[in-house]
Amino acid sequence: MKLLLYIVCVAIIVSLLFRLLEAPWVAFRKGETAFAHGNLAAAAQFYQQAAEKLDDPRIFNRLAWCWLRTGDLKDAENLLDRMLEKHSGQIGTIELLAGAYQQSQEPQKAIPLFTRYLAQGGKLDSSGKLQLARVYRQAGLYDQAAPYYLQAAENPKQKTAARIELAEMRSWQGDYDGAIALLREVLAAEPTSRQARLSLARILSWAGDYKESEDEYRKLLSMP
């Protein structure tokens, strides 16, 4: 009888411990399901439950990403900042926090995140280079942005966006001829790019080429 009672007690304790340990992962899996269905608010709630018990950068990154998309910028910034105190070399976290600063119109706070990472020997892929270029551009540091736009443009996936944004930035610096030439190169390769066509029309008007600008606007309006 005593042995039976002992076995029952052990079974109950094991069951309770299992539930206690498993509960955060259940919340995480529920968060993944909600995330996959685009329900970011619900996903954030489940991720937050999981994050209270688990120290896993994947969960924190997911939670921060949801908060960024739902407009909870300060919560996302605070969470990502705490993460970087523990995991300073996590480029995914750096890019998310930099994105939060960009969204809140504080690009100057994002720059040190990248410079410290690069100074420690970190490497950026083409997506990271494009983001850093955008950070510098948003901060008005055009000379620093240009090399990263050129590096990002070496990757076919980033090439069009990087070259269009570089052209726009050159026009802001008064280099209309360089900007126009670059956009014509983009359109020669991708004639259906609406963004390139729109940027070209705008810059032509800024340069005083109103007839050509009007022609480009007409082409844009006729695009499907």
Q: What is the CATH number of the domain that holds 94?
A: 1.25.40.10
- Answer whether residue 207 is part of any domain: no
Domain count, the chain: 1
pTM for the model = 0.78
Q: Is residue 46 part of a domain?
A: yes
pLDDT, tens digit (0-9, with 9 covering 90-100), for 189-200: 999 999 999 999
DSSP the chain: -HHHHHHHHHHHHHHHHHHHHHHHHHHHHHHHHHHHTT-HHHHHHHHHHHHTT---HHHHHHHHHHHHHHT-HHHHHHHHHHHHHH-TT-HHHHHHHHHHHHHTT-HHHHHHHHHHHHHTT----HHHHHHHHHHHHHTT-HHHHHHHHHHHTTSHHHHHHHHHHHHHHHHHTT-HHHHHHHHHHHHHH-TT-HHHHHHHHHHHHHTT-HHHHHHHHHHHHH--
Asked, for residue 129, whether it belongs to a domain, the answer is no
* Domain presence at residue 161: no
The residue range of the domain holding 97 is 24-123
Residue numbers of the chain with a pLDDT score lower than 50: 8, 10-11, 14-21
For residue 152, how far is the Cα from the chain centroid? 15
Residue 193: left (phi > 0), alpha (psi -120 to 50), or beta? Answer: beta
Kindly state whether residue 96 falls inside one of the protein's structural domains: yes
pLDDT tens sequence across 75-101: 888 888 888 887 777 898 899 899 999
Q: Evaluate whether residue 91 is within a structural domain.
A: yes
30 in a structural domain:
yes
Q: Are 169 and 146 in contact (CB under 8 A)?
A: yes
Predicted confidence at residue 17, as pLDDT, reads 42
What's the pLDDT score for residue 21? 45
Examine residue 128 and state whether it is found in any structural domain, yes or no: no
